Amino acid sequence: MDLDFGPAEEEFRTEVRAWLRAHVPAEPLPSLETADGFAAHREWERTLGADRMVAVSWPREYGGRGVSLLQWLVFEEEYYAAGAPGRVNQNGTDLLATTLFRHGTPEQLARILPPIAAGEVIWAQAWSEPGAGSDLAGLRSTATRTRGGWLLGGQKTWSSRAPFADRAFGLFRSHPEAGRHRGLTYVMFPLDADGLTVRPIGRLDGKPAFAELFLDEVFVPDEDVIGVAGEGWKAAMSTAGNERGLTLRPPGRFMASVDRLVELWRERADPSDTALRDRLADVWIRCQAYRLKGFETISREDDIGVEASLTKVFWSELDVALHETALDLLGTDGELTSPWLEGYVFSLAGTIYAGTNEIQRNLIAERLLGLPRGAR
């Protein structure tokens, strides 16, 4: 097995590294979970978009560079190694766009993707509801047929990026007579629409990372329905697969973090603390394994399906272990002022969003291992 990169990947790596060296801000941007930080990260997306760096693997007609998925992994490695800002529009680039590529119309691709690639339109995810988080099929918000489109009603909660984003995508029950997984319609809508109220939700540290959405006859035209009305579950599973797989959490993110953790250990650790050293070695090994898994995944032409649940459990628990190791290494001060702190707070959510890890383990047991369905 040849794991070396070819000339095309090395040439692209050199180009990306030079671009990042010239453009990454000298000082970290404010947290994107604040109004000022969100605006700064929105401007960074525009900087990326000006040189087609927002979504490098997209076709050029939609604002990408048309590079291979292997080159995309190279881009992600360089991006995180350079300490570049967090991506404020991952909902748009990694979830909505990947769903549109599979289920959208040519008109939707031409209309929706270029503004994302240019950093002009930021998207929020609007799936979870009170009483329907990981049980997505239990949602109760409605889409009612009207002339030329649909009227949305109900409530969404924990909507990522919604306090400051421009548009959102979500599932609504349009055919209540159908079964739980049927009769759902996947739509896109503006967050400043008539009848829509956005109420921010404070995170553990008080920053408004999420919002509740209250919808009262919010009109959505037919052109903003993704896939077939009433069959939105199929498109939603495409979104969920990308959210749980490596699209949203590429290996480069973890490789860069663990490299910094190794440097931190060299600077701060007590060499006699072999227990902490062993934890560091463990997370380093897990990051290497995740990187190799990334190469294996993109080398396959088929949909990995329920294997995305394996990936989701792996990266979410790795993220927590990595940040806990860093904070334990730093001691009390690290929990007050360290840049690792925000990453730790975010990592805690990783075992919950994209379907809780308990749900993912059920999927792995039943659909991957063929074990009997457990008690509900």
Q: For residue 60, tell me if it sits in a domain.
A: yes
Q: How many CB atoms lie within 10 A of CB 107?
A: 9
pLDDT above 70 as % of the chain: 97
Q: For residue 375, tell me if it sits in a domain.
A: no
When comparing pLDDT for 39 and 207, which is higher? 39
Length of the chain: 376
Is the domain of 311 the same as that of 201?
Answer: no
Is the domain of 199 the same as that of 267?
Answer: no
Is the domain of 79 the same as that of 139?
Answer: no
pLDDT reported for residue 376:
66
Half-sphere exposure of 295 (CA within 13 A, CB side): 12
Report whether pLDDT(246) > 90: no
Q: For residue 94, tell me if it sits in a domain.
A: no
d(Cα 305, Cα 321) in Å, to the nearest integer? 26
pLDDT reported for residue 5:
86
Angle at 233 between CA 195 and CA 188, to 5 degrees: 30
Do the bridges between strand 123-126 and strand 167-173 make them parallel or antiparallel, or are there none, so unpaired? parallel
Mean pLDDT estimate for the chain:
91
pLDDT reported for residue 251:
92
Domain boundary pick from 178, 203, 231: 231
Is the domain of 221 the same as that of 256?
Answer: no
Whichever domain contains 31, its CATH number is: 1.10.540.10
Q: For residue 93, tell me if it sits in a domain.
A: no
Extract the tokens encoding 13. Answer: 């790596």
Whichever domain contains 168, its CATH number is: 2.40.110.10
Catalytic position from the list 15, 243, 263, 301 = 243
Query: What is the per-residue pLDDT across 164-191, written as a single tens digit (0 to 9) for each?
Result: 999 999 999 998 888 777 899 999 999 9
Domain boundary pick from 165, 198, 231: 231
Q: For residue 346, tell me if it sits in a domain.
A: yes
When comparing pLDDT for 246 and 354, which is higher? 354
The number of distinct structural domains making up the chain is 3
Report whether pLDDT(248) > 80: no
Lowest pLDDT segment from 97-101, 293-297, 362-366: 293-297
pLDDT reported for residue 301:
65
Q: For residue 172, tell me if it sits in a domain.
A: yes
Is the domain of 152 the same as that of 62?
Answer: no
pLDDT reported for residue 333:
78
Q: What SS3 state is found at 153?
A: strand
Task: Taking residues 350-357, report their average pLDDT.
Answer: 86
Is the domain of 253 the same as that of 347?
Answer: yes
pLDDT reported for residue 93:
95
Half-sphere exposure of 234 (CA within 13 A, CB side): 12
Q: What SS3 state is found at 307?
A: helix
pLDDT reported for residue 237:
82
Task: Taking residues 248-266, report their average pLDDT.
Answer: 93
Whichever domain contains 343, its CATH number is: 1.20.140.10
d(Cα 239, Cα 234) in Å, to the nearest integer? 9
Cα torsion 84, 86, 92, 94: sign: positive
Domain boundary pick from 32, 65, 87: 87
Q: Residue 162: which of 127, 130, 120 has the closest Cα?
A: 127
Report whether pLDDT(36) > 80: yes
Q: How many CB atoms lie within 10 A of CB 168?
A: 27
pLDDT reported for residue 79:
97
Q: For residue 101, tell me if it sits in a domain.
A: no
d(Cα 322, Cα 83) in Å, to the nearest integer? 17
Is the domain of 150 the same as that of 227?
Answer: yes
Report whether pLDDT(1) > 70: no
Query: What is the per-residue pLDDT across 103-138, written as a single tens digit (0 to 9) for each?
Result: 999 999 999 999 999 999 999 999 889 877 667 778
Is the domain of 302 the same as that of 226?
Answer: no
Looking at residue 67, its amino acid is V
Is the domain of 283 the same as that of 364?
Answer: yes
Report whether pLDDT(145) > 80: yes
pLDDT reported for residue 253:
93
The whole domain housing 39 covers 7-87
Query: What is the per-residue pLDDT across 298-351, written as a single tens digit (0 to 9) for each?
Result: 887 666 778 888 999 999 999 999 999 999 999 887 777 788 988 898 899 889
pLDDT band for position 249 (cuts 50, 70, 90): confident
pLDDT reported for residue 133:
65
Task: Taking residues 240-249, report their average pLDDT.
Answer: 74
Q: For residue 113, tell me if it sits in a domain.
A: no
Q: Residue 166: which of 119, 206, 230 has the closest Cα?
A: 119
Is the domain of 204 the same as that of 273?
Answer: no
For residues 51 and 6, the answer to whether their CB atoms sit within 8 Å is no
pLDDT reported for residue 281:
96
Half-sphere exposure of 110 (CA within 13 A, CB side): 4
Report whether pLDDT(148) > 70: yes
Is the domain of 157 the same as that of 200?
Answer: yes
Is the domain of 253 the same as that of 361?
Answer: yes
Q: What SS3 state is found at 352?
A: coil
9 is catalytic: no
Q: How many CB atoms lie within 10 A of CB 337?
A: 9
Query: What is the per-residue pLDDT across 196-214, written as a single tens digit (0 to 9) for each?
Result: 999 999 877 788 888 999 9
